[in-house]
Amino acid sequence: MVTNMNKLFILICSVSFATWAEEAPDFSGTWSDPPPRAEDAFCHIGCMIEARDYLTSLLDDPANDEKSYAELKGQAMRFQVTKLLPGYMTSEALQKRLANRDPRPLSRVCDPWGLVRTTMAPHAMQFTQYEDHITLYYSEWTVLRHVYMDGRKPPADLEPSKYGYSVGYFDGDALIVETTAIVADNFAAGGFPHSDQATVTERFTHVGDERLEVEVVLTDPLTFKQPLRMARAWAWAPGEEIYPYDNCVVPE
C-alpha cells in the first residue's frame, strides 16, 4: 500500500529527475580540432594554462612583432617544458623523471597514450551520453573511456589501470569527470608525468554551440607541489570519422 508520504517522495524524485534531465547539458556528438587559432594550435595536445597565457603575452607584445608565430609558439613550449613544469615538480619527481627518461621519440612508439594525454587528445572525440553513463571515444589510439554518472563512488580496492576509474556529474552547464586509480606514467617526451597516486579532474564546458573546452587538473602529491591546470578545445565536427589503428608499424 502506497502511503501519502511515499507518494510525496516519488513525486519529489520524479520532479527532481525531470529537472535534472531537462537541465543537464548535452555534449553528445563528434568534436574535433578547432579552426586555426594561436592558442588552440599551441594546445593541440593540451597545454598548461599558464603556458598558454604566456604565449598570449608574447603575441600581444609589440616587441615580438617581427617574430613569427612558430617562433613564439616554440618559445612558449620551451617555457612550459623547461621552466614551468619542472617548477611544479617535487625534487624527487624531477630526479626520477630524469632517471626514467625514455629515449624513444613518441612518434617511434606503438603504444597508446596514457590517461592524462588522452584527456587532451587532438582530432576527433565522440561524446555519447546515456542515462547512467557517458562514453568518450577518441580518434587518437581509438581509446574508449566510460564515465559513470549514477552517483557511485569508485570501489575502495581498485587496482590502478591505464585509464583509471571515472565518475562524473553535472555542475550547472559543466560536466565534471573525476578519475582515480591511474597507473603511473613517466611521460618524459613533452607530456605530464605522474605517480599512481594521481587524480584527474576534467571540466567540460560548451562555448557557444560549436566549441567544447576542457580544463584538466592533475593532482599528485608524489609528483607535483601543487595541482597542474591544463586545457584543450574541440570544435563541433558532425560526420567526422574515427579510423582504426591496425597493425601499428613504426616505419623506421
Partner 1 sequence: MKTLTLFLLAGVIGFPFSTSHAHHSFAGAFDMSSTIQFEARVVRLELRNPHAVIHIEVVNERGDIEQWTIEGPGKLSLARRGWTDDMFEERELITVYGNPSARGKPIVWLSKIIKSDGAELVDPLVSDDLAIEEERRARRSRTGQGE
Q: Strands 125-129 and 133-138, how do they pair?
A: antiparallel
CA–CA dist 239, 252 (Å, integer): 33
Residue nearer to partner 1 on the CB measure, 26 or 65 = 65
Region from 89-97, 134-142, 172-180, 221-229 binding partner 1, contact rule CB under 8 A: 134-142
Residue nearer to partner 1 on the CB measure, 159 or 252 = 252
Q: Alpha helix locations (H) across 4-125?
A: 4-23, 38-42, 49-60, 69-78, 85-88, 91-99, 115-119
65 is a site residue for partner 1 (CB under 8 A): yes
CA–CA dist 39, 43 (Å, integer): 6
CB of 79 to partner 1, least distance (A): 11
- Looking at the DSSP bridge assignments, the partners of residue 224 are 89
**CB distance 216 to 177 below 8 Å:** no
Residue nearer to partner 1 on the CB measure, 217 or 242 = 242
CB of 219 to partner 1, least distance (A): 22
CB of 28 to partner 1, least distance (A): 20
Distant-in-sequence, close-in-space partners of 128: CB < 8 Å, separation ≥ 6: 28, 134, 135, 137
DSSP classification of residue 185: B
101 is a site residue for partner 1 (CB under 8 A): no
CB of 226 to partner 1, least distance (A): 22
Name which of 214, 250, 217 is nearest 232 in CA terms.
Answer: 214
- Say which residue the cell 588522452 belongs to: 118
Per rule CB under 8 A, count of chain residues that contact partner 1: 45
CB of 198 to partner 1, least distance (A): 20
- Letters for 79-98 (x = contact with partner 1 by CB under 8 A, - = none) are --x-----------------
Region from 16-24, 103-111, 126-134, 143-151 binding partner 1, contact rule CB under 8 A: 103-111
CB of 13 to partner 1, least distance (A): 43
- Name the burial class of residue 105, with classes exposed (0-12), middle (13-18) and buried (19+) by CB atoms within 10 angstroms of its CB: exposed
Name the site residues for partner 1 (rule: CB under 8 A). 32-33, 36-38, 41, 44-45, 47, 59, 65, 68-71, 73-74, 77-78, 81, 103-108, 110, 122-124, 139-141, 189-190, 240-246, 248, 251-252
